[in-house]
Amino acid sequence: MKKRLKLLGKVLLVLIIVPVMSLLVIFVYNRIRMKQEESLLEKPLGQMVDVDGHMMCVYEEGEGEHTLLFLSGSGTASPILDFRSLYSLLKDEYHIVVIEKFGYGFSDVVDDERSFDTILRQDREALETAGIEGPFVLCPHSLSGLESIMWAQDYPDEVEAIIGLDMVLPRTYDEFDFDGVFKFEKLAALARKLGIVRFYYLDSSLPAALSKEEKELYRAIACRKAVNIDVINEGLSITDAVSEIDSKPKQDVPMIMFISDGKEVKGTNWVQNHYDYASDLSDAKVIELDCGHYVHNFMQDRIAEDIREFIGE
C-alpha cells in the first residue's frame, strides 16, 4: 500500500511539474522573441495621430473617387495587415483607409471606457487629424458592424454606403452568451501574457496573402496586443450600443453584406438575421460565401469583384 501511495505521489508530482516547467519555458521563450521583435515595431505602417492624448494609427493607400474605410472586428490584432488580402486588390481604383482603434495594431492601449459612442468619436477625430475627408464607404468586419450602423444613423452625410464583411447586426445579440465569451477572452488574455498565444499565430493561421515578413510583423503585434483590456472593455459596451441603435430609425444607405457560413460565429440566426435586416432597407443585398468568418481572407477575389460592381452601380 505504501509503495502504491509513493508511486501515486510521484505521478502526481510529475503531472504538476511538467506543465509548470512547460509554461515557464514558453514564457521565457516568448519574452526572448518579443525582445528580438522590437525592431519590427519601430516604424508603424500608418500615420500616427493624437486622439485624447494617445496615439492612434491610420493607414491610407491609393487614390480614387470613393474612399473605402476598413474597420476591424473584435480582437483582430493587426487590422492593417488583416485587411491587406482584400484592399491590395482595390488600391489601384479606390482610396483605401484602415483605422486601428485603441488596443489594436500600432495604436496605444488606453485602458479606458470603450463605449461605441467613444469609439466612433475617436475614429472620426483620427480621420480629421490625419486629413482624410469623407464621405466613406464603410467596410466593417464583425463587431465593427455596430459602429458602422451608428455612423450611418448619426452622420448620414459621411456614409456613402456600407460593405459588410460578415458584420454583426443588432439582432445578433438577442440570445448571445456574453458570460461565455468574456470568460474566453480572459483566458485568451492570460494566454497572451504567458506567451501561449504565439503558437496560435503560426504562419498557417495568418492570412495567406501576407509575405513571410508581414506574417512575422503580425505575430509580433499579436503577442503584445491580442485580447487586451481595450478589446475586453469594447465587448462590455455591446449591449448599450444595441440599445442606442434600436432607439433610432434604421439607417438606409446602399448596403451589401458578405456573410460566412456562420459556423465560426456565435450569435442569433447568423445567416437569416442578415436577410431579415436587409429586407427593411431600400437598397441592400446579401451574398452568402462558403467560408469562415474572416471572409476577406478566404474569398477576397470574389469580394473585390462584387465591390467593384456594387460601387459602380
Please choose, from the candidates 247, 251, 283, 285, the residue with its C-alpha nearest in 3D space to the C-alpha of residue 155: 251
From CA 255, how far away is CA 30, in angstroms rounded? 43
246-253 long-range contacts (CB < 8 A, ≥24 apart) are 246/170, 248/153, 249/153, 250/153, 250/280, 250/281, 251/149, 251/152, 251/153, 251/156, 251/159, 251/162, 252/281, 252/282, 252/283, 253/152, 253/156, 253/159, 253/160, 253/161, 253/162, 253/283
From CA 29, how far away is CA 26, in angstroms rounded? 5
From CA 72, how far away is CA 82, in angstroms rounded? 8
b vs e for 257-289, b when ≥16 Cβ sit within 10 Å of the residue's Cβ?
Answer: bbbbbbeebbbeebeebbeebbeeeeebebbeb
Q: Please count the CA atoms within 13 angstroms of the CA of 132 that sit on its side-chain side.
A: 28
H or E segment to which residue 27 belongs: helix 2-36
Surface-to-core class of residue 213, CB atoms within 10 Å of its CB (0-12 exposed, 13-18 middle, 19+ buried): exposed
Q: Which three cell numbers stand for residue 135?
A: 464621405
Q: What is the pTM of this model?
A: 0.91
From CA 127, how far away is CA 266, in angstroms rounded? 31
Q: What string of pLDDT tens digits covers the 313 residues of the chain?
A: 566 656 666 566 666 776 777 778 777 877 888 888 889 999 999 999 999 999 999 999 999 999 999 999 998 999 999 999 999 999 999 999 999 999 999 999 999 999 999 999 999 999 999 999 989 999 999 999 999 999 999 999 999 999 999 999 999 988 887 777 778 788 888 878 877 888 888 888 899 999 999 999 999 999 998 889 999 999 999 999 999 999 999 988 999 999 998 888 876 689 999 999 999 899 999 999 999 999 999 999 999 999 999 998 8
Helix locations, 164-250, DSSP H: 178-194, 212-225, 229-236, 238-246
| 122: amino acid identity, one letter | Q
Chain-centre distance of CA 276, in angstroms? Answer: 24
